[in-house]
Structure 1
C-alpha cells in the first residue's frame, strides 16, 4: 500500500511538471489534456484522475507556492522553538527571491490573477479558498507571536495577520502587473522585514532557547 501511494505521488508530480513545461512553452489555452498526458508518459485518464482538468493542474502549481508557509504555521502551532515573526520574515525573503528569479512562475501567477478576476464562479470559489488558506496560515503565525508576547501594541494576532495578508497580496499584485517598478527581491522583502519590525516588541520575537536564556 505504501509503495502504491508513493507511486501515485510520483505520477502526480510527473504530470504536474510536464503540464507546467507545456503551459510555459505553448500557453495555457493551447495545451490539451491529451498532450499533457503524452508529455508525462501517462494516460489521459491518469491526468483526469489526479487533477480533473487543466485548471486543476494550474491550481496545484499555485498551491505548491504556499506549502512552505503552511508548514511553518503548523510547526509554530506545535510549539516550535522558532521565533514566529523572524521565521516568517526569513521565509518571505526566500520566497520572494525565488519568485523574482523565476520568470516561469511569474507568468503562471499572472495567469492565476487573470482567472481570479475574470474566471467562472467555480474558479473564483477556488481562488477564494486559496486566499482563505493563506490568511489562516498567517493567523496561526501571528497567534504564535502573540502567545510569545512578541506583538507590539496595539497589534493583535488578527490585525497583524490581516495587515500582512494585504501587504503580501499588494506587493505580489504590483509585481505581476508591472504598473510600478518593483522587484520582489530585494525591495519587496525589505518592505516585509520593515513591517515585521514594526509589529515586534523590541527584543521579544525570540526562539524558545533565547527566551529561556
Structure 2
C-alpha cells in the first residue's frame, strides 16, 4: 500500500510537469495559472500545491527535469582533467545541440525558457534556480577553458571568465534563433559546423585579460 501510494504520488508529479510543459508552451509562463496546469493534468489545485509551493517552484522543476542531463554531461566534461579540452568542448557542445534538436521535451522546455518565459519572481527556497543553472554552466565552461589554457590550446593571457560567458552567449543565441526559426537550418546536421566556427573564433582571437574591464565591470580574475 505504501509503495503504491509513493508510485501514485510520483506519477501525479510527473503528470503535473508534463502538463506544465504544455500549458507554459501554449500560454507563456506569466499568463498561465496553476489552475490551468491542474486542469491540463486532470487533478485538483490542491494536488498541485501538495507537490509544488508555487508557480516558480513548478517552473524550476520542469526546467530541471529537462536540462539536468545536459548539465550533468557538461559537468562530467569539465571534470575530465586528462582529456583534450578543445576536443571535449567540441564534443559536449555538438551533443547538447543535437539533444535539443532531437529530444522533444528538451526542445519544448528550452522554447519556454528562452522564448516564452517572462522574468518570474524568485521561486520558493529549495526550488531549482534558473540563474543558478546558468551560473553552473558558465563555471563548467570556464573550467574547460582553463584546462585548454594549461594544455596550450589558448594563449596564456586568455580571460577564461569572459571566454566562458561569450561561449554561453553564443550557444544561447544559436538555440534561441533556431527555436524561433526552425525552418532556417537543420540544427542536428549543422551542429558540428557551427561549433567548429565558435571554437575557431575562440582559438584565433580569445578575449584577453582586461578586455572585460570598464565602468561598473567586476575585476577580471587572474587564473595564474
With structure 1 as the length reference, what TM-score do the two structures score? 0.65
Would the aligned equivalents of 2:74 and 2:137 in 1 still touch at CA under 8 Å? Answer: no
Alpha-carbon distance in structure 2 between the residues aligned to 1:66 and 1:104? 9
Alpha-carbon distance in structure 2 between the residues aligned to 1:98 and 1:69? 8
Alpha-carbon distance in structure 1 between the residues aligned to 2:80 and 2:105? 36
Distance 1:169 1:79, change over 3 A: closer
Alpha-carbon distance in structure 2 between the residues aligned to 1:12 and 1:147? 49
What residue number does 2:93 align with? 92
In the alignment, which of 34, 37, 47 is matched to residue 32 of structure 1?
37
Would the aligned equivalents of 2:21 and 2:62 in 1 still touch at CA under 8 Å? Answer: no
Q: Which has the higher helix share?
A: 1
Secondary structure at the aligned position of 1:31 is classed as helix
Distance 1:161 1:24, change over 3 A: closer
Q: Following TM superposition, where does structure 1 have runs of at least 4 consecutive aligned residues deviating by more than 6 angstroms?
A: 10-13
Give per-residue Cα distances to partners, 1:143-171, cap 9 Å, x unaligned: 22223333247643223212211110110
Shift of 1:176: 1.8
RMSD between aligned alpha carbons? 3.9
Would the aligned equivalents of 1:18 and 1:36 in 2 still touch at CA under 8 Å? Answer: yes
Give per-residue Cα distances to partners, 1:163-208, cap 9 Å, x unaligned: 211110110110122288133222244211332244459xxxxxxx
Shift of 1:74: 4.2
Secondary structure at the aligned position of 1:81 is classed as coil
Distance 1:119 1:95, change over 3 A: same
Shift of 1:73: 5.1
In the alignment, which of 153, 164, 167 is matched to residue 164 of structure 1?
167
What residue number does 1:206 align with? none
Shift of 1:76: 5.4
1:134 aligns with 2:134: no
Give per-residue Cα distances to partners, 1:71-97, cap 9 Å, x unaligned: 355445655332223223222212211
* Number of residues of Structure 1 aligned to a counterpart in Structure 2: 188
What residue number does 2:212 align with? none
Gap runs ≥5 in structure 1: 202-213
Secondary structure at the aligned position of 1:32 is classed as helix
